[in-house]
């Protein structure tokens, strides 16, 4: 019986050690940006192992899925890579991140803390490579204080959780509204957040995290929507739609007409959604024009999607409603 308990204890300790490892190869974080422009996603992936300063590290690569405007004024999504890789390792309940400028590691997360502890990640150090929220070449204090501790269960795995807040002089920090969860990191952004606002809105919050053992769907993201919605990376330019979609007038004050060539009299689904991915309206037609009414739609920037039900082609464009 004692042997059984010993084996069970060892197994539990092994499993807890396994589950607490950070950024296993294939791990993926999907973040959205704050409102301020068209939808933008920031995606971090753990892509391989490496050794830096005798530490066994995971290599993290960051991608941006952003909207681009073509010569006709229509928008399409494309993926770009941040030039700077990040290197992270885990040891004794602490997560260390490599400083590319100083050639050194520093503690990013510490799960040995108690309530009231202050974590100084960096002090008067240059921030570089934290695409897309770079530090703009300034020297900033990265510091936060532990307000409370707890735990959470994800896919049957018990993980530690912290609520933290910026200290008074911190210029880079983790926000109290987004807890830090073991294995996942801050639900705001893995590498912290600057106090400076950015043009298209800085990284706002985590939508989803996944690795070989767990999948986490953040409560800040609508459960019924895919992690990448409405940014669909396989959107194609249908030959019978390309350069033929016209919306006039745009901006729209009361109503507008969307015109396009429907060569095959196909059935199309026309959807309008806001910058957070919420569907505003949807209709079907086999005509060559669609009447768009502002009605109760609030002023602002929206996107429309025209979807061909017969061949699954689709097109996404921008529409602006004004008073």
> DSSP per residue over 71-128, as a string?
TTS-EEEEEEE-S--EEEEEETTEEEEEETTTTEEEEEEETT--TT-EEEEEEEEE--
Residue 59 backbone dihedrals phi, psi, to 5 degrees = -95, 125
- Name which of 89, 104, 105 is nearest 56 in CA terms: 89
Q: Which CATH architecture has domain 246-321?
A: Sandwich (2.60)
Where b means 16+ CB within 10 Å and e means fewer, 182-220 reads: bbbbbbbbbbbbbeeebeeebbbbbbbbbbebbebbbee
Q: What is the pLDDT of residue 276?
A: 62
Instruction: Let me know the angle formed at the C-alpha of 268 by 262 and 272, rounded to the nearest 5 degrees.
Output: 120
Please report, for residues 85, 139, 142, 182, the alpha-carbon distance to residue 107 in angstroms, rounded to integers and kept in the order given. 18, 18, 11, 14
**Cα–Cα dist 164/173, whole Å:** 9
Start-to-end CA span in the chain (Å): 76
Q: What is the pLDDT of residue 269?
A: 87
* Token code pair at residue 23: 């950024």
* Token code pair at residue 56: 């066994």
Residue 56 pairs in a beta bridge with 51
**Cα–Cα dist 253/275, whole Å:** 19
**Cα–Cα dist 33/25, whole Å:** 25
pLDDT along the chain (323 residues), means of 10: 45 42 90 67 92 95 75 64 85 90 89 94 65 55 92 92 92 86 93 61 82 87 75 45 71 88 80 77 88 88 80 73 87
Q: What is the pLDDT of residue 202?
A: 67
Domain definitions of the chain by residue range: 2-217, 246-321
CB atoms within 10 A of CB 43: 19
Q: What is the pLDDT of residue 153?
A: 92
Q: What is the pLDDT of residue 5?
A: 45
Q: What is the pLDDT of residue 260?
A: 80
Asked whether 162 and 174 are in contact (CB, 8 A), the reply is no
* Token code pair at residue 52: 């830096």
Q: What is the pLDDT of residue 15?
A: 41
Q: What is the pLDDT of residue 133?
A: 53
Q: What is the pLDDT of residue 110?
A: 95
Q: What is the pLDDT of residue 74?
A: 58
Instruction: Let me know the angle formed at the C-alpha of 196 by 190 and 202, rounded to the nearest 5 degrees.
Output: 50
């Amino acid at each position: 019986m004692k042997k059984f308990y010993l084996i069970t204890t060892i197994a539990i300790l092994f499993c807890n050690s396994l589950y607490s490892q950070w950024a296993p190869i294939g791990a993926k974080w999907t973040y959205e940006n704050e409102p301020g422009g068209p939808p933008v996603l920031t995606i971090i992936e753990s892509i391989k192992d490496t050794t830096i300063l005798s530490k066994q590290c995971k290599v993290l690569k960051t991608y941006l899925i952003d909207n681009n405007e073509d010569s006709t004024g229509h928008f399409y999504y494309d993926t770009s890579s941040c030039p700077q890789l990040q290197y992270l390792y885990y040891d004794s309940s602490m997560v260390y991140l490599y400083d590319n400028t100083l050639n050194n590691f520093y503690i990013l997360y510490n799960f040995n803390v108690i309530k009231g502890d202050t974590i100084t990640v960096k002090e008067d150090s240059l921030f570089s490579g934290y695409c897309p929220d770079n530090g703009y070449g300034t020297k900033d204090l990265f510091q936060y204080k532990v307000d409370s501790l707890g735990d959470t269960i994800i896919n049957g795995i018990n993980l530690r959780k912290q609520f933290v807040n910026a200290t008074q002089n911190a210029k880079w920090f983790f926000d109290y509204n987004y807890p830090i969860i073991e294995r996942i990191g801050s639900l705001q952004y893995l590498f912290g957040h600057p106090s400076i606002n950015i043009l298209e809105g800085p990284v706002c919050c985590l939508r989803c995290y996944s690795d070989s053992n767990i999948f986490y769907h953040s409560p800040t993201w609508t459960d019924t929507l895919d992690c990448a919605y409405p940014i669909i990376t396989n959107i194609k330019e249908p030959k019978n739609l390309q350069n033929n979609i016209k919306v006039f007038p745009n901006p729209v004050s009361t109503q507008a007409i969307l015109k396009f060539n429907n060569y095959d009299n196909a059935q199309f689904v026309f959807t309008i959604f806001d910058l957070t991915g919420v569907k505003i309206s949807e209709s079907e037609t086999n005509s060559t024009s669609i009447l768009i009414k502002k009605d109760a739609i609030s002023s602002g920037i929206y996107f429309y999607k025209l979807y061909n039900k017969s061949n699954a082609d689709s097109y996404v464009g921008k529409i602006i409603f004004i008073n």
